[in-house]
Amino acid sequence: MRQTYKSKNRQLLYILFCYWPFAVLVYGETTSQGFYITPYLQNPSTDAITIMWETHQPSIGLLEYCKGKENPRYELKSLETEKTKIHKIRISGLQADTEYAYRVKAGNAVHHDVFKTKPAKSNRVRFVIIGDDKNWRTYWETSRLPQHLSSHQPEFILILGDLANNGLKYKDWPQHWRRWTSIMGHIPIIPCRGNHERDGREDPENDWFAKYHDLPGGEPLTSFDWGPAHFAMISFTHWKQAPDLFDKDLSTTDKKWKILGTHYPVYGTGYFSPTDRRKMHGFSKLEAVFDKHHVDMYAAGHNHMYERCFAMRAGQRDDNHGTLYLIQGGQVEGNYPDRWSAKVAKQMDWPHYTLIEITEDIMELWSYGLAPGERNKRMKARIIEFDHYIRWRDESKPKALLAKLDHIEGTELIAAIERLGAMMYAPAASAINQYLTSENQPLCRTAGAALENIAGKDIAVQLLPHLNHPDVAIQNNIARSLEAAMPAELADRIAPLALDKTRKPRVRARLLGALLLHAPAELSCKIALQTLDEKNKAIRHRAVDVVKRTAGKKDIPVLIAMFEKELDDHVAVSLGWGLNRLTGARVNLEKVKKSKPGKRQPFIDKWRQAI
């Protein structure tokens, strides 16, 4: 008992140590006279900015500020005219691209911070994308991620909705503000409304999303320019109107880069589940608008995962001219890759964020998160880069980098190969392929990762021998490259490899995916059915995912027989999903999940009756 008591005491002290700074930062004084929410930046422009905060009691807000951050004198002042708890002061007449120090008081609490106005002309913009941070509990603010993000000096942060669990409940908002306390006073945060913020028209008096924000252009369309890029985001409430709203907005800009977002994805694998929960296959009307205006990136949240899709145009992969679709949903729950998936990241822990820098000819994206399984380590958790992508407008840049490969070595060579992979530069694939035989493991693995990113059909035949590479990491890279882009004529060569039990399950699972996405359905189903007889859970789950999508009506008796005796509920529900697809029946899959072998006859009867 004494040991348990001491352990609990240590846990309590640790929690107090972790959280007391955030309680002080957000709530200011412990009395009712200080800040309830500390000052934060909204709606930045070249000559103005809005500063908001909340106090426990109604008061007249005073904002003091001055140009420069060294030895500030705060000679400029802006005073509210009426008492309020949520304070909003917009100051104008500022100089573009200039730092200002500011000070706000609430009772005896004082908040000092610095902001910088938007540049009038710039060929560069750096910003961060976050999604669905309501699910992060306290893992963000008790890790080093806030400091890591700030170290990159983004000019603003976009949040793709779902800031609070229920946006119409006042009590659900403090956690959001606590999360961003160390950042929001000097980096503007620009969100769009997600479904958890709710439609404010339901209850205008409790529309806290609207009360807490001052968005560029307002709602439902938030729109602004920064540097070489145009940005626009639409509230979830106007998802159906998004094609018309975006079309009208994009017709007014001549910016070289166009970055759009809403809460809902256009493409996405959805959650890892046997029922394809939240899978998104496209939104043709919206895609037509993106194609018309040459939109570079569309970002979304909603699905609690990270997925970077291939650039898509007219519903097909187009690395050079398509729109990049990104899901930055804050967690790690993605399903198996689909035809549009460039990366469904699971090799990190959550929370995570994406940093993007755009110049005249390059858009570069880095995604960072906690190392796998380390979110409970709090400040000791390692931060890793788990995705890197570069979109280029001027081909001379990747061409020049490719030309250097034969003339550089060591870390410079590794960095060049990694960058070519991030650029997804297909002409570099053959040159990179030669490094897969290098005895230098970092160089070899970098080449494997680069070829996985490029994922080109033209190089697929050359990659096949490396499925026997002595390094399993390289086998996995090659298998994923084939899953993304396998020529159909290779299907007969891949099929026996997918059945080879001496191979690692993850490699085989990706080869099964290659068959699903690129081989005839009959062959894919045949191979997957054979692997369903195995015991390995990862293989069986991938195999049944293939079976449920590729089985034909002639396979119904086989699927029913397997379903009847299946012990794994994931496999059973997947088979049920497939039988619903094949028969047109609507068997309740939640009930299937709870069922046991020997008690499934009512489901089977429904499928047989529907045939």
**Residues 388-400: tens digit of each pLDDT:** 999 999 999 999 9
**Amino acid sitting at position 106:** A
Answer whether 163's CB lies under 8 Å from 387's CB: no
- Note the pLDDT tens digit of each residue in 115-141: 999 999 999 999 999 999 998 989 999
Q: Hey, which residues does 55 pair with through a beta bridge?
A: 35
Q: What is the pLDDT of residues 423-455, one digit of tens each?
A: 999 999 999 999 999 999 999 999 999 999 999
pLDDT score of 281: 85
Residue 463: in which H helix or E strand, if any? helix 460-463
Query: What DSSP state is assigned to residue 61?
Result: -
Tens digits of residue pLDDT in 289-299: 999 999 999 99
CB atoms within 10 A of CB 253: 16
State the Cα–Cα distance between residues 46 and 96, nearest whole angstrom. 4
Where does 1-119 show beta strands of DSSP type E? 35-42, 49-59, 62-67, 76-79, 84-91, 99-106, 109-116
**How high is the mean pLDDT of the chain?**
93
Q: Are 474 and 445 in contact (CB under 8 A)?
A: yes
Confidence tier at 310 by pLDDT (50, 70, 90): very high
For the ranges 263-267, 269-273, 420-424, 550-554, the lowest mean pLDDT is seen at 269-273
Residue 462, SS3 per DSSP = helix
Q: What is the per-residue pLDDT for 32?
A: 64
Q: What is the DSSP string of 4-23?
A: HHHHHHHHHHHHHHHHHHHH
**pLDDT tens digits, one per residue of 369-394:** 999 999 999 999 999 999 999 999 99
pLDDT given at position 334 = 85
Cα–Cα distances in angstroms (integers) from residue 475 to residues 444, 490, 493, in the given order: 12, 17, 15
Structure token pair of residue 515: 């068959």
Give the other-Cβ count within 10 Å of 536's Cβ: 14
- Quote the pLDDT of residue 90: 98
Question: Which amino acid is it at 514?
Answer: A
Confidence of residue 404 (pLDDT cuts 50, 70, 90): very high
Label residue 278 by pLDDT band (50, 70, 90): confident
- 3-state DSSP percent of the chain in helix, strand and coil, to 5: 45, 25, 35
DSSP letters spanning 543-602: HHHHHHHH--GGGHHHHHHHHHH---HHHHHHHHHHHHHHH-----HHHHHH--TTS-HH
The three-state secondary structure class of 27 is helix
**DSSP letter at 47?**
S
pLDDT of residue 279: 83
Q: How far apart are CA 146 and CA 185, in angstroms?
A: 13
Task: Give every CB contact of residue 338 below 8 A, 6+ residues apart in sequence.
Answer: 267, 269, 279, 517
pLDDT band at 413 (very low <50, low <70, confident <90, very high): very high
Segment 332-357 mean pLDDT: 92
Q: Rounded to an integer, what is the distance from CA 155 to the centroid of its chain?
A: 19
Angle at 230 between CA 229 and CA 234, to 5 degrees: 145
Quick: pLDDT tens for 33-64.
799 999 999 999 999 999 999 999 999 999 99
Distance CA 267, CA 269 (A): 7
Chain centroid to Cα 545, Å, comes to 23
Closest CA to 475 of 510, 431, 429, 507: 507
When computed from its CA atoms, the radius of gyration of the chain, rounded to whole angstroms, is 27
15 pLDDT exceeds 80?
no
Looking up tokens 């009512």, which residue turns up? 602
Check whether 24 has a pLDDT greater than 50. no
Helix/strand/coil (H/E/C) assignment for every residue in 194-251: CHHHCCHHHCHHHCHHHHHCCCCCCCCEEEEEECCEEEEEECHHHCCCHHHHHHHHHC
Alpha carbon of 337 to those of 48, 315, 451, 528: distances in Å?
44, 16, 17, 16
* Residue 138 · residue 145 · CB < 8 Å: no
Kindly list the distances between the CA atom of residue 178 and the CA atoms of 40, 137, 139, 376, in Å, as whole numbers in the listed order: 11, 11, 12, 18
Residue 405: CB atoms within 10 Å: 17
